[in-house]
Chain A
Amino acid sequence: MIAELGAFALMLGLACALAQVGLSTAARLRRSTVLAAAGEGAALASFFGVAIAFAVLIQAFVVSDFSVANVAANSHTEKPLLYKVAGAWGSHEGSMLLWDLALTGYGAAMALFGRNLPRNLKTIAVATQGALGSVFLAYTVFASNPLARLVHPPVEGASLNPLLQDPALALHPPFLYSGYVGMSVIFSLSVAALVEGRVDAAWARWVRPWALAAWSLLTIGIMMGSFWAYYELGWGGWWFWDPVENASFMPWLVAAALLHSAVVTEKRGALAGWTVFLGLAAFSFSMLGAFLVRSGVLTSVHAFAVDPKRGVLLLFILGAMAGGAFALFAWRAPNLNQGGVFAPVSRESALVLNNILLAAATATVLLGTLYPLIRQALTGDAISVGPPYFDLTFVPLMIALILILPAGPLLAWKRGDAAGVAQRLWAAAALALVAGILTYALVSPRKAFAALGLALGAWLITGAIVEIVERTRAFRAPLAETWRRLIGLPRGAWGMTLAHIGLGVFVLGACFETGWRAEAAETLPIGGSLNVGAYHLVLQKITRVEGPNYDAERAQILASRDGKGVCRAFPERRLYLANGQTTSEVAICDRGPSHLYIVLGERRDQGATPVWLVRAYWNPWAVLIFGGPAIMALAGVISLSDRRLRLGVARRREQPA
């Protein structure tokens, strides 16, 4: 009965989304505030409908109601509660419902908190959001209903893939999807701006908080997914250029470009058309991702259950929504205001360069993901596009981006002073170079490219510090003035600096880990040992343990360095009883920013004494790889708390005037 209630609420959500489109469109045509308010009410109602359906799905998972097909296929009575709840979004159908929840949730948020938007703009944005909600809800209701019943419910469920039973991965989809779908608000605002024919500084200012929030959430979502791959897949890789990863990376890159171009539109009124284009592109890439992950057109380690028929539907949605929006863009964009002029050396130019490089990086990821498909369709030749391709294309683009990055914030708007900027940055450049040279000289084995990468990471960080020093006139003005300026810096400025430092931290970690990771593997009897990096590992004992829904062998391994024990690790090899799958539970010893990463492999019986395969990795500075993006997301949140962006502030300030 409850499941039917949920299915009904979902239908109701769809009906309300359709009403939202109709009412808001009529409101704009007749310039009626009453109809506009009704459209916003429908947006709220649509969200409530979907929220009820989502709550019902979670309830079905929690009580293990196997008469619901989706629960039977993805849950199991013995699963821990967290993974029962997470199972609600672990499957194709459930994750689509999560997508709908986010989509209608953003629509409701826009209706509630968009009070300072101009009325016409808001009405059209709400209508567009409703249109997006309608198509995705219709898809969910008619093609992938998560609450469909089974006629003959099984006694026990088929369980969730044990690899996915992990805290980081349980929380990964909610973050990822709120990021993905957050781009829909920017999409709707862009469509509205095109319809109204006005893209100005005020519009860019309204877009920025949504873009910041969506980008920060997406950053966390991608980082969690990467962290999960790092410690769950068992060999310490954290980015594979897998199609599904690429699908989440493309909207991230576009949103990053948008955050920068929106600044130009806000401060200088320029790049209006381009900012709108990026606003449309960001959510189009989100939809492309939804299609790629669910259609099975690409082979990927972590694609959802493959269903070509659904893929066609999603492709149709993507084509209709993105195609319609870009057609509108082609029609209306030429009328947009060109905005202020700027010199070749200016902050505008630097931000345009940033956008060119980020756009090219997005094109690289897109080409690398889709080219094998295109080439096979055209010529029948099967080719692979793997990590070596991205190393040769994406990496040089990023190097160029990183090289110009510290100069951007130091340049003045309109007309910058190249010599002045070079003078301010030479100390940062020298420090970064010294860092690179020291790394090359001191870390063995010697690796020139990795050392260069370290210099680049250091350049980002020192450059960001120089920027703060410049803004506060540190070392030149009295200490009190520096302090006053430091306190007075807007949160947005801190956010920018911190995001750039976060990128630098990531680059340091990624280059150091990739350059100097060490690996060792041996089959060990009890008491046997192996060496990895500077560490000596001894397999002390193996015990059998019983988990809630698995049996496991647990190794006790003592890691020592220079004869002194530093860490006792307990890696496990688990056998999940529900579907007979084995997984390895990695043990990680934290050594400052580095990881000693230990995996217990299979048991092999050679003669009388049993031996176990033990793999160990020394992953230097691995923490920075995940810490960098965490800093970037935090920077987004700090920037979001800037009072200039806080909703309603601008309005309140306007009133007394």
Chain B
Amino acid sequence: MRRRAVLAALAGVLCIAAASDPAERLPNPKQEAHARALFKDIRCMVCQNETIDDSEAPLAADLRRIVRQQVQAGRTDDQIKKYLTDRYGQFVLMRPSFDAGNIALWAGPFVVVAFGLLLLAGRLRNREPDPDLSEAEAKRLERLSRDA
């Protein structure tokens, strides 16, 4: 019991790819690879910013078991993710959803690019008139150089 408590306490610091543990593995390698890919998108909610693929926390092990069972039962990624978000909220997914509340998050970087390009375009348009000489200037230059 004490060992388990120590393990739980350490789970926050020690992330040693807990999901690769052979004791948990599914017999079908294809399903196992599928489950592992899913683990990387699912957060261990009691840990410090870790996925359930990395975490040794008991909760992460429970979530891995749930996901493996569902993968084995042939459920789709969306179904599994929905199952998890219904119980734990959006917090459980490492990739924030594309919903209205996350518009600033997803669009922000590209708005910065667009804004920067607009500024650049403005700067390029406001260039001083072309440095080529106008006809009158060319004539004047010619006259001056002839005088000299």
Contact = CB atoms under 8 A, between A and B. Distances in A.
A441 to B, nearest CB: 23
Given A300-B48, A386-B95, A387-B94, A161 B13 contact: yes
Given A344-B124, A381-B89, A384-B92, A521 B108 contact: no
A356 B116 contact: yes
A104 interface: no
A615 B128 contact: no
A356 B20 contact: no
How many B residues touch the partner, as a band?
35 or more
A357 interface: yes
A275 interface: no
A360 B109 contact: yes
Interface in B26-47: 40-41, 43
A386 B10 contact: no
Contact of B105 (A353, A387, A389): A389
B141 interface: no
Contact of A301 (B13, B109, B112, B116): B13
Contacts of B117: 356
A342 B126 CA distance: 10
A280 to B, nearest CB: 17
Interface of A: 161, 163, 233-237, 240, 242-243, 299-301, 303, 341-344, 349, 352-353, 355-357, 359-361, 363-364, 367-368, 371, 375, 379, 381-389, 392-394, 397, 519-523, 580-584, 599, 601, 613, 615
The 8 tightest CB contacts between A and B, nearest first, are A386-B94, A356-B116, A388-B95, A235-B17, A521-B20, A234-B16, A382-B91, A360-B112
Contact of B93 (A236, A352, A384, A599): A384
B108 A363 contact: yes
B16 A601 contact: yes
B49 interface: yes
Interface of B: 6, 10, 12-17, 20-23, 40-41, 43, 48-51, 54, 89-97, 101-102, 104-106, 108-110, 112-113, 116-117, 120, 123-124, 127-128
Contacts of B124: 342-344, 349
A303 B12 CA distance: 11
B17 A301 contact: no
B108 A357 contact: no
Contacts of A381: 89-90, 101
Which of B6, B17, B48, B109 gathers the greatest number of chain A CB atoms within 10 Å? B109
Which of B17, B49, B106 gathers the greatest number of chain A CB atoms within 10 Å? B49
Given A242-B49, A341-B127, A383-B91, A301 B43 contact: no
A161 B13 CA distance: 10
Contacts of B108: 363-364, 367
Given A360-B110, A384-B96, A615 B105 contact: no
Nearest to B115: A356
B15 A301 contact: yes
A460 B101 CA distance: 38
Contact of A233 (B16, B20, B23, B89): B16
23 contacts: A233-B16, A234-B17, A235-B16, A235-B17, A243-B49, A300-B48, A301-B50, A342-B124, A356-B112, A360-B110, A360-B113, A382-B89, A383-B91, A384-B90, A384-B91, A386-B41, A388-B41, A389-B94, A394-B109, A520-B20, A582-B10, A582-B14, A584-B16
